[in-house]
């Protein structure tokens, strides 16, 4: 390209005025031509810009989180009061029965030593060690009139154990059904609402006159206490429902007792 332009310039010089160009004129023309040449400037090609692509966020499937289950904490508190505090008092009994405690022997404490002496030594010790029996109090009342249909005698024994488990074991393992000398006692099918565990028994004995004497006996345990009670008399005078109501009196007293941790 440069050669073509140079020849074109030289041609013009040669044809002008039909005169021959001198050396200076030629050099000047070449210099002007070179000065007139455009210089090639390197044009930078812009790099393509990177357009960020959207990142797809994974959709999390909802999961079913199980609700926590709460297990109630067992109440391990026990009653430490004296069993005597929960015995019947005269004011607890129907006034029309004129119930009284005939003498001092009808009320008292029953120690572990007395239990061992009333059972066999081996049997009594096993019972005390197995259940954690501590002490009991009992009371018996005698009816003061024949004019009412109420038990001739009523009796209750309130026993304190070291633990609620011991009281329950006493009712289930060492109850009347486990004793050979109570074979004639009948376990009643009763739906009782008494304490943590309960049982009811009936014993009947025919008199020479043809009448029946009956014992209705109720056991129940509440916390670390066990209760054994009965109503005794002629069948016509002793109603099971009344004996159960006597058990409820003791239970109500126990429910008001102060509780302590063992």
33 pLDDT tier (thresholds 50, 70, 90): very low
195 pLDDT tier (thresholds 50, 70, 90): very high
Mean pLDDT rounded to a whole number for the chain = 82
The 3 state secondary structure assigned to the chain is CHHHHHHHHHHHHHHHHHCCCCHHHHHHHHHHHHHHCCCCCCCCCCCCCCCCCCCCCCCCCCCCCCCCCCCCCCCCCEECCCHHHHCCCHHHCCHHHCCECCCHHHEEEECHHHHHHHCCHHHHHHHHHHHCEEEEEEEEEECCCCCCCCCCEEEEEEEEECCHHHHHHHHHHCCHHHCHHHCCCEECCCCCCCCCEEEEEEEEEECCCCCEEEEEEEEEEECCEEEEEEEEEECCCCCHHHHHHHHHHHHHHHHCCCEECC
Q: What is the pLDDT of residues 107-120, one digit of tens each?
A: 999 999 999 998 88
Please state, for a pLDDT cut of 90, what percent of the chain lies above it: 64
Q: Which residue has the higher pLDDT, 243 or 34?
A: 243
Q: Which residue has the higher pLDDT, 12 or 119?
A: 119
Q: Which residue has the higher pLDDT, 45 or 227?
A: 227
* pLDDT score for 180: 62
Q: What's the mean pLDDT in 177-197? A: 84
Q: Model-level pTM?
A: 0.72
* pLDDT score for 176: 72
């Amino acid at each position: 390209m440069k050669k073509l332009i140079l020849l074109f310039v030289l041609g013009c010089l040669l044809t002008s005025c039909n005169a021959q160009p001198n050396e200076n004129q030629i050099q000047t023309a070449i210099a002007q031509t070179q000065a007139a040449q455009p210089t090639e400037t390197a044009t930078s090609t812009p790099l393509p810009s990177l357009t960020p692509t959207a990142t797809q966020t994974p959709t999390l499937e909802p999961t079913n989180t199980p609700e926590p289950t709460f297990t109630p904490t067992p109440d391990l508190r026990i009653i430490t009061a004296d069993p005597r505090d929960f015995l019947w008092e005269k004011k607890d009994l129907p006034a029309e029965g004129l119930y009284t405690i005939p003498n001092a022997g009808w009320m008292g404490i029953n120690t572990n030593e007395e239990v061992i002496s009333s059972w066999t030594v081996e049997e009594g010790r096993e019972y005390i060690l197995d259940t954690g029996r501590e002490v009991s109090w009992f009371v018996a009342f005698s009816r003061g009139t024949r004019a009412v249909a109420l038990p001739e005698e009523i009796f209750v024994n309130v026993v304190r154990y070291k633990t609620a488990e011991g009281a329950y074991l006493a009712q289930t393992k060492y109850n009347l059904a486990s004793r050979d000398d109570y074979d004639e006692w009948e376990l009643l099918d009763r739906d009782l609402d008494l304490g943590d565990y309960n049982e009811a028994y009936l014993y009947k004995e025919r008199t020479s006159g043809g009448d029946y004497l009956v014992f209705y006996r109720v056991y129940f345990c509440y916390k670390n206490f066990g209760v054994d009670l009965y109503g005794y008399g002629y069948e016509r005078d002793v109603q099971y429902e009344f004996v159960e109501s006597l058990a409820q009196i003791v239970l109500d007293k126990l429910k008001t007792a102060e509780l302590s941790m063992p």
